[in-house]
């Protein structure tokens, strides 16, 4: 497997998601990332399940029960990509059921965890995914979804990290990072090899062209 295959797969899925999500929005109307797709009105709301592989349907990580449809579709697409494209490089998950899905007695915080380690010969060290829903004392709720890939020492390719934080129907924070694994000041060829040649910066460039998106400082 090419050393940057995992990140290329994730980047393509990410770009396709944002292209399809925003292509139908009129530029004459102001939209935030979430105003066009508000959260369900309550934590008991459930969204229809998209078609995914049979091996994934039993995993609580694929439910994303509190997310808006585009938010949920993105995460399901990324995790389904992991399951279908990278399955041969990963060991089965060994997490106990009470870790795969967890909540307190009142059910106000509710979450799921997903971890799969790579085979000894795999370029993937492990994949980590999660979603967390928590009701806030002041009202409303916060929803956080994350997916990270950590590669093994057999490759120098960047790791992958995406985090989506939604605290209201009009507030969404996206963190997308491909952190280098070498000091770019001492390894200038690393930037060319893993970022420019593979076009891993394309998702960020796509985001910058969307009028509804602005940097978060």
- Please write the tens of the pLDDT for every residue from 121-151: 899 999 999 999 999 888 889 999 999 999 9
> Would residue 54 count as lying in a domain?
no
Per residue in 161-186, pLDDT tens? 999 998 888 888 888 888 999 999 99
CATH code at position 162 = 3.40.1500.20
> Would residue 215 count as lying in a domain?
no
> Would residue 128 count as lying in a domain?
yes
Q: Is the model's pLDDT at 19 over the cut of 50? A: no
> Would residue 89 count as lying in a domain?
yes
Going by their DSSP bridges, the two strands 141-151 and 101-103 should be labelled as: unpaired
Place of tokens 């060994």: 94
Task: Indicate the SS3 state at residue 47.
Answer: coil
Q: Is the model's pLDDT at 208 over the cut of 70? A: yes
> Would residue 216 count as lying in a domain?
no
- The predicted pLDDT at position 48 comes to 36
Instruction: Give the number of other CB atoms < 10 A from CB of residue 213.
Output: 17
* Ramachandran category for residue 199: left, alpha or beta (phi over 0 → left; psi -120 to 50 → alpha): left
Handedness of CA 54, 60, 65, 67 (dihedral sign): negative
> Would residue 157 count as lying in a domain?
yes
Counted domains in the chain = 1
Say if residues 159 and 165 touch (Cβ distance below 8 Å).
no
Edge-to-edge strands, sheet with 171-177: 101-103, 109-117, 124-135, 141-151, 160-168, 171-177
> Would residue 150 count as lying in a domain?
yes
Host domain of residue 174 = 5-47+59-208
Task: Indicate the SS3 state at residue 22.
Answer: helix
Per residue in 42-64, pLDDT tens? 333 333 333 333 344 568 889 99
> Would residue 214 count as lying in a domain?
no
Handedness of CA 202, 204, 205, 210 (dihedral sign): positive
- The predicted pLDDT at position 39 comes to 34
Handedness of CA 165, 159, 12, 9 (dihedral sign): negative
Q: Is the model's pLDDT at 13 over the cut of 80? A: no
């Amino acid at each position: 497997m090419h050393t940057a295959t995992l990140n290329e797969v994730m980047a393509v899925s990410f770009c396709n998601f944002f292209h399809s999500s925003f292509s139908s929005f009129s530029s004459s109307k102001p939209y935030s990332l979430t105003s066009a797709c508000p959260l369900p009105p309550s934590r008991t709301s459930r969204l229809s399940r998209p078609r995914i592989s049979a091996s994934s349907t039993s995993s609580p990580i694929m439910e994303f029960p509190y997310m808006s449809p585009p938010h949920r579709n993105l995460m399901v697409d990324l995790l389904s990509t992991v399951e279908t494209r990278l399955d041969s490089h990963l060991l089965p998950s060994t997490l106990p059921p009470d870790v795969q899905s967890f909540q307190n007695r009142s059910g106000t915080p509710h979450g799921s965890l997903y971890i799969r380690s790579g085979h000894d010969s795999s370029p993937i060290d492990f994949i980590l995914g999660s979603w967390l829903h928590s009701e806030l004392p002041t009202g409303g709720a916060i929803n956080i979804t994350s997916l990270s890939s950590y590669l093994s020492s057999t490759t120098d390719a960047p790791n992958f990290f995406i985090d989506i934080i939604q605290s209201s129907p009009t507030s969404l924070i996206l963190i997308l990072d491909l952190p280098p694994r070498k000091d770019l000041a001492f390894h200038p060829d690393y930037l060319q090899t893993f970022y420019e040649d593979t076009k891993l910066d394309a998702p960020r460039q796509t985001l910058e062209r969307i009028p509804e998106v602005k940097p978060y400082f």
